[in-house]
Chains A and B, each alone.
Chain A
Amino acid sequence: QVQLVESGGGVVQPGRSLRLSCAASGFTFSDYGMHWVRQDPRKGLQWVAVISYDATNTYYADSVRGRFTISRDNSENTLFLQMDSLRPEDTAVYFCASYGVGRYIAYWGQGTLVTVSS
């Protein structure tokens, strides 16, 4: 079965960086696009970024464009989110998620909490 396991969350000061990872198993990772989505109680679910199966295409939410970078290593079945210049409003649980037959979110990881606070 599909498994997505995020790691790398934690507490970080504003302006600092953090790198999230998502280990994928149970499907052919290199055949599917992947998303990052975040959730906080105030703003609900917010789509963050997406990367195509071969990493040739990426898209970002306006709120993170220029600060966050999505990437993948198909040889290691791993998805990444490099988060720079972090702000308090980036505090959320971050989920990785995989494409379905279309570009919708079909499977979710369990999430990793990122807290940006001084």
Chain B
Amino acid sequence: EIVMTQSPATLPVSPGERATLFCRASESVTTNLVWHQQKPGHAPRLLIYGASTRATGIPARFSGSGSGTEFTLTISSLQSEDFAVYYCQQYNDWPQTFGQGTKVEIK
């Protein structure tokens, strides 16, 4: 199966600052990658699909990039509601697999 590795595990960021999260696949997934956001006690929510397309209702401060094995999620100016755990997931092959998550916390 394709192994997804996220870094860093924890990212301390001050409100208003930029956050950059990384996701690496053990083999190419082309652009078949999504990013989900999860807040404590809640289900995940889709942010980005196709590596770079924002899902419906997702603010423009969220952007995704990358292809093949290297991907990035950027939050341009962190708002209070953005402190959460972020997961990447590949859907290029079965089984679909998730990264272990990056927790964005208040610095």
Please list the residues of chain A having a beta carbon within 8 angstroms of any beta carbon in chain B.
35, 44-47, 50, 59-62, 95, 100-111
A-B contact count (CB 8 A): 61
Contacts of B42 in A (CB 8 A): 110
Find the B residue at minimum CB distance from A106: B46
**Beta-carbon contact of B101 and A102 below 8 Å:** no
Q: How far is the CA of A108 from the CA of B32 in the complex (A)?
A: 18
Q: How far is the CA of A45 from the CA of B89 in the complex (A)?
A: 10
Interface locus among B20-28, B61-69, B90-98:
B90-98
B8 to chain A, nearest CB (A): 15
Asked if B34 is an interface residue, CB under 8 A from chain A, the answer is: yes
Please list the residues of chain B having a beta carbon within 8 angstroms of any beta carbon in chain A.
1, 32, 34, 36, 42-46, 49-50, 55, 87, 89, 91, 94-98, 100-101
Q: Which secondary structure dominates where chain B touches chain A?
A: loop
Q: Which secondary structure dominates where chain A touches chain B?
A: strand
Find the A residue at minimum CB distance from B48: A104
Contacts of B49 in A (CB 8 A): 100-102, 104, 106
**Beta-carbon contact of B101 and A59 below 8 Å:** no
A104 contacts which of B1, B32, B45, B97 (Cβ < 8 Å)?
B32
